[in-house]
Amino acid sequence: MNLLEKVEELSGQNLYACYQCGRCSAGCPMVEQMDLLPNQVILLVIRGDQSVVEAKTPWICAECYQCFTRCPKEVDIAKIMEALRLIKLRKNIDYIKLGELKNLPQIALVAGARKYTG
Ligand code: SF4
Ligand code: SF4
């Protein structure tokens, strides 16, 4: 299964629906911290470019669904970001080490464990 098929299976999204209008990226509140714009993530997955799996953007995504509300094709990018995180976490590569985190409220630790560790 190639990268596009994997992401489509995990996210339930049709990435070819995207026509790269950029409305998602224009409204994303996290875009300044990202190394790839949300619409660029889609393009790289379609091209099968594995560098997207190593990008920061899927981990920075706050899953706020702003992009989904702006997308004329109803592409749910938060689900695509989650699929990319899962592809990495399923290789047993944790994105953060929980033991090194200190002075965080319990709810942040639980949320961090769910999002950033496999
Ligand atoms: S808003 Fe939708 S169609 Fe436009 S670039 Fe983003 S995902 Fe693609
Ligand atoms: S769900 Fe993620 S990519 Fe979409 S607008 Fe929010 S932070 Fe940006």
Ligand 2 centre distance from Cα of residue 103 (Å):
27
Return the CATH number at 83: 1.10.1060
The residue whose CA has the least distance to atom 8 of ligand 1 is: 18
The pLDDT-based confidence of 97 (bands split at 50, 70, 90) is confident
Over the stretch 36-83, which tens digit does the pLDDT of each residue have? 999 999 999 999 999 999 999 999 999 999 999 999 999 999 999 999
Ligand 1 and 23: CB distance under 6 A: yes
Q: DSSP letters of 77-99?
A: HHHHHHHHHHHHHTTT--SS-GG
Structural domain range at position 71: 3-116
What confidence score (pLDDT) does residue 107 get?
83
Ligand 2 centre distance from Cα of residue 80 (Å):
10
* Cβ-contact 13, 46 below 8 angstroms: no
Give which of 8, 64, 70 is closest to 39, Cα–Cα. 70
Q: What is the domain count for the chain?
A: 1
Specify burial of residue 45 (Cβ count, 10 A radius: 0-12, 13-18, 19+).
Answer: buried
Rounded average pLDDT over 92-111: 77
pTM equals: 0.86
- 90 vs 18: which has the higher pLDDT: 18
Ligand 1 and 84: CB distance under 6 A: no
Q: Which residue has the tokens 């290789």?
A: 91
The residue whose CA has the least distance to atom 3 of ligand 1 is: 18
